[in-house]
């Protein structure tokens, strides 16, 4: 071992294994398909959805969806990118856990017509529960734009704690936006209330 080895930060495991299919009371979380492109484009062409996301451009179209789906559907992806589907297998949103800069990050969005029904809480809780079984000693990072209190409440109910604030560039808004940083420590996941 040399001096450079001592200075390198330890990176958490680079993979959580293959993407499972998770079935909840009302939803199925499954791997994405290229055929999801139209539903994704429809959801993300709604500025009410994209304005709360940092890395999604506006306007958003089918080609943007395909550009995102091609690598996501490729075999061997190390991240979890779930399609949230209803009982009819209609794509209504995404929940993901991605390894970025050596840390696991939770992200999610939902088609506006499914808001205020508890679907996102159900999907995120199920994803985190499965992730914590595979990676029990792993901290999950996330965050929300400061003007998205519903998303912050969802995270707090699941056990996330605020760790700070930063300014993040929002592609959809084309400006810097205040971002509340959050973190879920190992073992802190709260069961979803019925």
Q: What is the DSSP letter of 113?
A: G
Is 182 a domain residue?
no
Instruction: Give tens-digit pLDDT for 50-77.
Output: 999 999 999 999 999 999 999 888 865 6
Is 73 a domain residue?
yes
Q: What is the mean pLDDT of the chain?
A: 89
pLDDT given for residue 8 in this prediction: 38
Q: What is the mean pLDDT of residues 68-91?
A: 87
Per the CB < 8 A criterion, the answer to whether 75 and 32 are in contact is no
Lowest average pLDDT, out of 76-85, 98-107, 158-167, goes to 76-85
Distance CA 105, CA 133 (A): 16
Whose structure tokens read 């297998």?
A: 89
Residue 93 has pLDDT above 70, yes or no: yes
Q: What is the mean pLDDT of residues 43-55?
A: 95
pLDDT given for residue 3 in this prediction: 45
pLDDT given for residue 6 in this prediction: 41
If one counts the domains in the chain, the total is: 1
| 104-143: burial string, b at 16+ Cβ within 10 Å, e else | bebbbbbbeebeeebbbbbbbbbbbebbbeebeebebbbb
Nearby residues of 76 by Cβ (< 8 Å), 6 or more positions away: none
Is 13 a domain residue?
yes
Give strand pairing partners of 70.
none
Residue 167 has pLDDT above 50, yes or no: yes
Is 81 a domain residue?
yes
Structure tokens at 88: 């009819």
Q: Is the link from the previous residue into 59 a cis peptide, with omega within 30 of 0? A: yes
pLDDT given for residue 177 in this prediction: 97
Instruction: Give tens-digit pLDDT for 129-145.
Output: 999 999 999 999 999 99
Is 189 a domain residue?
no
Is 102 a domain residue?
yes
Instruction: Give tens-digit pLDDT for 142-165.
Output: 999 999 999 999 999 999 999 999
Tell me the CATH number at 66. Answer: 3.40.630.30
Give strand pairing partners of 184.
140
Structural domain that includes position 91:
3-138
Q: What is the mean pLDDT of residues 39-50?
A: 96
């Amino acid at each position: 071992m040399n001096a450079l080895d001592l200075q390198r930060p330890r990176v958490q495991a680079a993979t959580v294994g293959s993407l499972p299919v998770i079935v909840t009371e009302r939803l199925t979380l499954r791997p994405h398909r290229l055929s999801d492109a139209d539903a994704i484009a429809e959801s993300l062409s709604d500025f009410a959805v994209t304005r709360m996301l940092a890395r999604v451009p506006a306007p958003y179209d089918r080609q943007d969806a395909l550009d995102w789906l091609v690598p996501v559907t490729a075999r061997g992806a190390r991240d979890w990118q779930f399609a949230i589907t209803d009982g009819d297998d209609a794509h209504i949103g995404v929940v993901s856990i991605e390894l970025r800069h050596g840390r696991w990050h939770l992200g999610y969005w939902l088609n506006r017509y499914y808001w205020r029904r508890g679907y996102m809480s159900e999907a995120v809780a199920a994803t985190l529960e499965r992730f914590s079984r595979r990676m029990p000693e792993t901290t999950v990072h996330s965050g929300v734009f400061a003007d998205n209190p519903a998303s912050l409440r969802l995270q707090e109910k699941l056990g996330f704690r605020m760790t700070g604030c930063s300014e993040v560039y929002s592609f959809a808004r084309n400006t810097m936006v205040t971002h509340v940083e959050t973190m879920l420590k190992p073992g802190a996941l709260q069961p979803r209330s019925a």
